[in-house]
Each structure stands twice: as structure tokens, then as C-alpha cells.
Amino acid sequence: MAQVKFTPNLQRFFPDLRACEVDAATIAEVVDAVDMRWRGLGDYIIDEQGALRKHVNIFIGDELIRDKRRLSDAVSADTRVYIMQALSGG
């Protein structure tokens, strides 16, 4: 199962959010799986067209995902996925 970790900033919106393992083959399936555990999290991560929102980044290991529109990047049982709120400012 893929290991999924979240930035602590997301706990502001989902207080019981914690690292978990999900059975998924793509990032889209990861998002679906975490949304089933924490309803509304998927809407925070993806927009109405199913694309990654601009204020969210997803990494597979230490690499930013490539497909931000369909979230088709592959994951496997030993994959570590990091979902985080993008931070900006000056």
C-alpha cells in the first residue's frame, strides 16, 4: 500500500488528519481514497475538473507529480506520497 503523509497545515481544516496507507495505482486513486476517509479533503485537493488545485502540491517521494490535470502519475506499494498546501508570500 502507498504511504500518504500530509502537511500539518491541513489539520487546520481536517483536525483528525494523519498519515495513512492506501491501496492505489495512481495519484487520482490516492486522492479518492483519502477523501473517503476524510470527507471534503478531495475537494480541497482537486478542482471541479479533477485537476490539482494551485494551492496544493503532491510529491511522490521527493519528486513533484507531473500530471496535474488527470493525476495519472503511478504509485506502487512502496510509494511515499506527500500532500501539502503550497505556501507563498514574502
**What's the alpha-carbon Rg for the chain, to the nearest Å?**
12
Question: Has residue 36 been placed in a domain?
Answer: yes
User: Domain of 12?
Assistant: 2-85
Q: Please indicate, yes or no, if residue 90 is contained in any of the structural domains.
A: no
Split into its structural domains, the chain has a count of 1
We report the CATH number of the domain holding residue 71 as 3.10.20.30
pTM of the predicted protein model: 0.92
Residues 4 and 22 sit within 8 Å (Cβ to Cβ): yes
- Residue of 66, 35, 63 whose CA lies nearest to 45: 35
Identify the pLDDT of residue 57.
Answer: 95
User: What is residue 85's DSSP assignment?
Assistant: E
Residue 9 pLDDT exceeds 90 = no
Q: Hey, is 43 helix, strand or coil?
A: helix
Confidence of residue 86 (pLDDT cuts 50, 70, 90): confident
